[in-house]
Structures are given as C-alpha cells and as structure tokens.
Amino acid sequence: MKERTENILKKLVNINTTNPPGNEMDVINTILGFFPEDIAYEIVDHGDNRGSLIIEIKGEDEEKIGFIGHLDTVPVPDESNWDYPPFDGVIKDGYMYGRGTADMKGGVTAMILTALYFVENNITPPHTLKFVFTADEESGGIGIQTLRDKGLLKDISKVFIPEPTDEQIGICEKGAFWLNINVKGRASHGSRPDLGINAIEKLYEYICRLKATMDLEKEHYLLKKSSFAITLISGGVKTNIIPEDAKASVDIRTIPGIDHDEILKNAYEISKIIEEENPGISIEILVENNRPPLTIDEGNGFIKEIIETYERLSYPVKFKGLNFYTDASQLIPFHNIPFVILGPGEENMCHQKNERTSIESITRMAKLYISYIINY
C-alpha cells in the first residue's frame, strides 16, 4: 500500500489548489481517474474551475457513512524559503513534503484508498459509503454549504472528517467568529481634537468593550480557553489630522458553550451605546465568518465504536480537541449527526512552511477506516 499511497498523494500535491483561486475541479478529474468509469459519482460545479465531488459506494443497507475532506489549500507566500518545491511532492525519510500534504490531501488520500479497497476487491460494504470532496474549506466554505443546501448530505448518519489529528480521536473543535468593524467619526485639525471624533480611539474603545463581555477565562478540558484577537487594523491619514475613519477585524475562537448569537447581540448593543454617547459617530459591524464550536461526548455510541476499532488494531487511544475549524462546522449544526475528526498527519504542520505528512500515517488511517466500515 505504501507505493500506491505515495503515488496518489504525489498526484494530488502536484495540482496547485491554493485558495484563492482554488481550481478544485483539476484535482476532481484526477481523483476520478483513480476509479473505474462506472463508479457512481456526482460533481457540483461552483464555477471558475471550482467544484465539489461525491463518490458513493452502495452498501448492503441504506444507512450511509460519510467521509468529508477538502481539496483546497492555503497559499504559499514564501515558496523560495521551502526546502523542497511545495508542489513537487518530494519524499524524504518516510515523509512527503508539499503544500496540502497535511492539510488535507493526506486525509483525502486515505479516503481514496478506503474507497478503492471496496471497489477493487468487489466488496459490498455493510453500509453505503459516501466520499465527499469539497471546495473552499480554507475560505468561505462554498463547497460544504452548497452540498448541504442542495440536500446532498442529509442522508449521512455518521461522518468522518479526516483532517490531521496526529491520528488521535478528535471529538471537539473551536468555533470561529470573525467580525469586521468600521467606525466613521469626524476629522479635525490635530490641535483641535475637541472639534472632531477620533475614529481610531472609538474603534479601540469599542473592541475593548466587546472583549470585556466575553468569558475568556473559562476552560475546556481539551480546547483550553476561548480567544479574542485583533488581526487587522487601519485608519488615519496624517499625524496632525484627527482620523475620520478606522477599520479593524477581530478573530474570536470559541470553546463549546459560547454562543455566537450572544456575541453578535453584544456587538450591536455596544455599537448603539457608543453612537448614543458620541453624536455623529457611526459603527458598522459585518460578520465575515461564523462557524460554531462543536463537541461530541466520549460516551457516544459512534465514538465507542471508533475506540473499539483502535483497540482491535492496537492503535493507542487518545482524545483530541482541534483549535481550527473544519467542514463539520458547516454541517453538524444543520444535520445533528455523530461525527469524528480523525485523520493522518500532524496538526502543527497545517499552513506551515515545509509542510509534510507521514506516508505510514496515511496507510494506518486508511486501515482504520476500512476496519471500522467492515465491523460496524
């Protein structure tokens, strides 16, 4: 299986699917090339050479187990600093190097190997299998949202998300709530700040007030604390001019139990208060990204089946919480089904220079998926 794993992953890495622009349709055609022509599949075209793919393998009954993996990757801003070209798929000491090897073309390779096992060995799985390859997970989530809204995922009863989890059982992930804040004040000469409304100062005041409404000390046993970070900021035109405009973006990462609707409610209320306190000022709040935190109980039947599969294969059982969001955040809140985030590769390799993943890790996870399918 090692040689085949290397071959599949290398072909995926060779295709540049950095987002933007994505170009996921190129890798979809490559994935279909691994399968016989009569495989049951559906492509959803998102336009501009972007697409998502579903491959379905009929089982003995109608229950459907889903595997969802994304095809896009983050960009490579520092290509000249990589030890190996990021789209060559160079193998060294059991690792393949390249953009997307960990996040998450390694997981996609494990999905493909799992599907091919049943197709090529002419094995009818106990349950129908649905392998879902999505576009745009690294940005707005066009792929998973479109498939969900078209009703193409509503028949899945359990779902694997093969993101890199260090081969540990991911039972929770942090939410992501990104806000863009635009403040418009009134300009004046720097010597007469009393005649203006300093947009930068009011922006800072607004962010401090919003941050103060959140419980950032509460801890989750796997995910630790929520976080609140100012990640973009701009404003002003010259040292001696009181700034009229200021903009900022905040990246809020939330643990289970934190309600994004409550954060947004507070955001609007604080903007109204500051506007009332400072006649002439306006504050605009825009939601850039809203992915709620997710969790599943360790005692859930699906998770117990995963644990039994680990024990059957003599894999060490360890639970994990993911600090990053996955496609599950755009599916589970709408289709409340058991999920697990579980895949090959190291979490700390995501989005990194010299990204890499272990070939052996991919084969181990494929064996795990196959074992689970056969036994449950």
* Cβ 5 vs Cβ 117: under 8 Å: no
pLDDT at position 140 is 86
Is 175-291 a domain of CATH 3.30.70.360? yes
Q: Which of 152, 163, 270 is nearest to 210 (CA)?
A: 270
pLDDT in tens, 58-85: 999 989 999 999 999 999 998 999 999 9
Q: What is the pTM of this model?
A: 0.92
Query: 2-173+293-375: CATH homologous superfamily?
Result: Zn peptidases (3.40.630.10)
Are 2-173+293-375 and 175-291 in the same CATH fold? no
Encode 135-157: b = buried (16+ Cβ within 10 Å), e = exposed: bbbbeebbbbbbbbeeebbeebb
pLDDT tens digits for range 201-234: 999 999 999 999 999 999 999 999 999 999 999 9
Distance of CA 107 to the CA centre of its chain: 13
Write out residues in the chain with pLDDT < 50, as ranges.
none
pLDDT at site 88:
97
- pLDDT score, position 29: 97
- Residue 241 tokens, joined: 């001019």
Return the domain boundaries, the chain: 2-173+293-375, 175-291
Question: Which residue intervals of the chain are DSSP H helices?
Answer: 2-14, 24-33, 106-120, 142-149, 199-212, 260-277, 301-312, 359-375
Tokens of 21: 């622009």
Q: What is the pLDDT of residue 78?
A: 87
